[in-house]
Amino acid sequence: MNITQTVFTIRGMHCASCARSVEVNIGKLGAVQSVSVNLAGESAAISYDADTLSPKDIISAINKLGFKASLPSADSADEETSALKREKTKLCIALIFAGLIFIIAMGPMLGLFRLPSFLAAPKVLTMTQLILVIPVIICGFRFYTSGFKSLFRGSPNMDTLIAVGTIAALSYSIYSTVLVYKGDQHAVHNLYFESATMIIALVMLGKFLEKRATKKTSDSVRKLVSLTPNTATVLRNGIETEVKIQEVEVGDIAVVRPGERIPVDGEIISGTTETDESMITGESMPVSKVCGDAVIGGCINRTGFIHVKASRIGKDTTLAQIIRTVSEAQASKAPIARLADVVSGYFVPTVITVAFISAIVWLIAGKDFPFALSVFISVLVISCPCALGLATPVAIMVGTGNAAERGILFRNGAALEHASKTDTVVLDKTGTITTGKPTVTDIVSDIDADELLALAAACEAGSEHLLGEAVVAYAKANELYTENAENFEYSVGSGVSAVIRGRKIYVGNKAFVKNHGRFEGVAAELAESGKTSVYVADDDKVLGVIAIADAIKDSAVECISELKKRGVSVYMLTGDNERTARAIAAQVGIENVISDVKPNGKSDVINELKKQGKTVCMVGDGINDAPALAASDVAITVSSGTDIAAETSDIVLMKNNLLDIPRTIRISAAVTRNIKQNLFWAFAYNVIGIPIAAGVLYAFGGPLLNPMIGAAAMSLSSVTVVTNALRLGKMKF
């Protein structure tokens, strides 16, 4: 099997029942593994066997359900904007004509004014309202096409409720109009044209405000998409040629001038510069780049003129991978949404049943048909499956978008929810707490420190050992002149020696040099701090000791301090020996140290912590951490920012900054809290609103809900949920 996940764009979904219909029906296709529909994002993440099923087959199946499916394209944002403009035009027309009907029908009743005598005539009044209804029906016709199609398919949705309610009102109004023309002048009081049109107009207003608000939830992805240049300047036969970005091939040399965006991932082969990687990694400071350094497509070339050799293009670039990761996360669902999914499957049929029962009960209780019809319509239009369907996805979309702008990539909604429950964080040492690169930390010498370092670097210049490379790199960083060494010799596992200015110099461990006692105590103290001592000596004596250690990341201490303040237990899990591990742990403030653990044993440690009832978040950076990452409740990978696709974790930290770990937990907690608020509002609204619409308050002497007020309240509930979720986009975390 070739399991592939693809995100499809789906237009025409209007409520949770629509989303549920897509999930249930597409999930029945034989080769489909899973379906997760995002109502707010108008998308669906579908996993399927690509050997059996093609995207075209899935699109066809979705279209048969009455929706319009497609693969995402660069024009999606433009299409969305155009659709919103069309909706705005229809809304304005509907509001104008519905408003005229309302003024004509309700103005005199409210004592606002008296109609002219010719317009007040029953026949003219009914016909005027009937004519004014037509533009409103045309503007809101999609409620009827969508609503009745869904009803006939056996999966009624919100549009069904609006369609059935307004058709009932319009049908009775037309019947009353006929009676008026037959001579029954009192039938003019049984017109519901104003209710039907105002319901349509108010629901259209609510959907427009909702769509305009949810459009903002995709801003982060749109910003990322906009980073991709449309063209690139490449060298073809030595001549600069501008080509479409799709025509750039691996190995092409791209010419990038100051101020331009780098078109592809690649390596600088000529020139130096500084790049702005803020929109990719969240890193605000410019990053210096020289020949041989990797650059990320989409970033801005700030200062220098450079030539970049393309290594990854199209969908393989870092930017494309980030966009795909964020889009898939936004299309996914959090476990907390399961209750809403279950409810939405039964919601609309239940509401229709309640509406019919309520109307029948009032008829039996002795009320007239217009009263029962008003109750029937009110129950239908106040019910809001939209709020249920939007409660989770809008919060996830805004939360993951906000996180992505800060260089934190959530892969799915489940990770976004689970991270908030974390009470134990397990950190790998090398490459996570530390930089993963040895560096010189101390020099203790009987001679000048620079001279000792220069001698050691001259000897190590021909070495490929990590410690030797650290010495050479440190000497270069301090701009020390190193002389050429002669007669270089390498002793495996011990050290190196060479002749410098006729003097034999030895650089290595204490067993490799003679008379090391002078500095043995110093080396022991350095070892207690987790540092490795490299002795430098000549034929007569030891000249000094150079201490080398894997440097601790600047953000480590503050990160661990913040986690502790949140009540999170912090562990260090490493394959290093206990003395080195505890030395590093002491420097960053970690008390719980688990050392001498092989890669395949790390997962056992995670499982043991989980057995103790802990919710474990594992943070690592390498392949050797994969078993532990897989075993944890939440897996976080500290990334270099250039290899997103290879990561198998739930969350990727693009900035390589440990402070993003507590920030991830804060974002997760805020999004989860927001989802709970939205779900509470959606459920509470329906639990309270439907009985009121059914006439419960009226039965005890209270008011009867007007259908128009019900429609306005229904629209308000959806807008409230979306607006609450949009607050996440403004939080700083």
Please give the positions annotated as active site.
428
CA distance to 146, 197, 429, 520, 587, per residue, from 583 (Å): 67, 74, 11, 19, 7
Q: What distance in Å separates the CA atoms of residue 257 and residue 302, rounded to the nearest whole number?
A: 8
Q: What distance in Å separates the CA atoms of residue 239 and residue 36, rounded to the nearest whole number?
A: 48
Chain-centroid distance of CA 366 in Å reads 55
Q: How many residues does the chain have?
A: 733
Contacts of 440 (CB under 8 A, 6+ apart): 453, 470, 471, 474, 546, 547, 548
673-705 per-residue burial string, b: 16 or more CB within 10 A, e: under 16: ebbebbbebbbebbeebbbbbbbeebeeeeebb
Q: Tokens at residue 344, please?
A: 């939405």
Closest CA to 543 of 583, 586, 500: 500
Strand runs labelled E in 589-730: 592-594, 616-620, 634-638, 651-653
Q: Tokens at residue 500, please?
A: 């410098």
Helices 393-405 and 318-331 pack at an angle, to 10 degrees, of 160
Residue 534, SS3 per DSSP: strand
Strand runs labelled E in 177-335: 231-236, 239-244, 253-256, 265-270, 273-276, 287-289, 294-295, 300-301, 306-312
Contact 265, 295 (CB under 8 A): yes
Q: What distance in Å separates the CA atoms of residue 657 and residue 653, rounded to the nearest whole number?
A: 7
Cα four-point dihedral sign 686, 687, 689, 692: positive
What is the DSSP code (8-state) at residue 191? -
The distance in angstroms from the start CA to the end CA of the chain is: 42
Strands 486-491 and 495-500 come out as: antiparallel
**Dihedral pair phi/psi, residue 28, rounded to 5°:** -80, -15
What does 331-390 look like in DSSP terms, one character per residue?
Answer: HS--GGGHHHHHHHHHHHHHHHHHHHHHHHHHHHTT--HHHHHHHHHHHHHH--HHHHHH
Q: What distance in Å separates the CA atoms of residue 126 and residue 586, rounded to the nearest whole number?
A: 85
What does 395-410 look like in DSSP terms, one character per residue?
Answer: HHHHHHHHHHHTTEEE
Q: What distance in Å separates the CA atoms of residue 632 and residue 609, rounded to the nearest whole number?
A: 9
Chain-centroid distance of CA 205 in Å reads 28
Phi-psi category of residue 701: left, alpha or beta, with phi > 0 → left and psi -120 to 50 → alpha: left
Q: What distance in Å separates the CA atoms of residue 146 and residue 358, rounded to the nearest whole number?
A: 25
Contacts of 477 (CB under 8 A, 6+ apart): none
Burial class (CB in 10 A: 0-12, 13-18, 19+), 238: exposed
What is the DSSP code (8-state) at residue 149? H
